[in-house]
Homo-oligomer: A and B are copies of this chain.
Amino acid sequence: MRDRELLLLGILMAHSQHGYQINEFIEMNLSRVTDMKKPTAYATLDRLAAQGFVEVRSEQAGNRPVRKVYSITSQGTEYFQSLLKENLMSGDKMQFSSDIGLMFLDHLSPDDAAAFLEERLQALNHDIARHEKAPPHGFGLGVDLAMDHHLVHLKLDRDWLGQVIENLRQRSTENSTSSRSRGDLANTDRSH
């Protein structure tokens, strides 16, 4: 919620825009950073307007539906600065929804687990490829930084997943030859 506000104010810091424009921009360029949907953006912008952080004026081009053009106010700029500071100072909550699945890995055979994770690894590799192929955005330096941040985490996940799958596979063959040597799955001692 706080982050939604930061994102929208940050976008408006560049220049005033109408709702459709903003949402377009988010969908096209910022899907890696946020999953905010249109109605949420409108709702958040309205809230920001009610608090005096953005101004709205209705505009009509031709006889298309009225567009709402949002501009950041000077109080909004201050608020933006404070949100930005807060965001930079306190890090992510760092929650991976995939950790929920991992927690229950014991309910699966190592074979099945490995197969499912292999699928995910494939998808991850595609995502990394897309990411690396994409040209630098051209919006400031910060955006490039954020993209790099995202990318290094994707790559870590790829490597980590690879190791886990390897271990699962080993575990599976060990199990079938029934030679029980302690091949601990966790604590792969990737001592960083």
Q: Which of A48-56, A58-66, A92-100 contacts B (4 or more CB under 8 A)?
A: A92-100
CB within 8 A of A106: which of B141, B154, B160, B190?
Answer: B141
| In contact, B186 and A120 (Cβ under 8 angstroms) | no
CB within 8 A of A107: which of B84, B107, B152, B164?
Answer: B84
Q: State A155–B98 Cα separation when bound (angstroms).
A: 18
If A10-B104, A186-B141 touch, does A152 touch B160 (CB 8 Å cutoff)? yes
Inside 8 A of A146's CB, which chain B residues have their CB?
99-100, 102-103
Q: How many copies does the complex hold?
A: 2
Contacts of A11-28 to chain B: CB distance below 8 A = 13
Smallest CB separation, A176 vs chain B (Å): 18
| In contact, A87 and B96 (Cβ under 8 angstroms) | no
Q: State A13–B192 Cα separation when bound (angstroms).
A: 34
| In contact, B119 and A89 (Cβ under 8 angstroms) | yes
Asked if A74 CB lies within 8 Å of chain B CBs, one says no
Inside 8 A of A154's CB, which chain B residues have their CB?
94
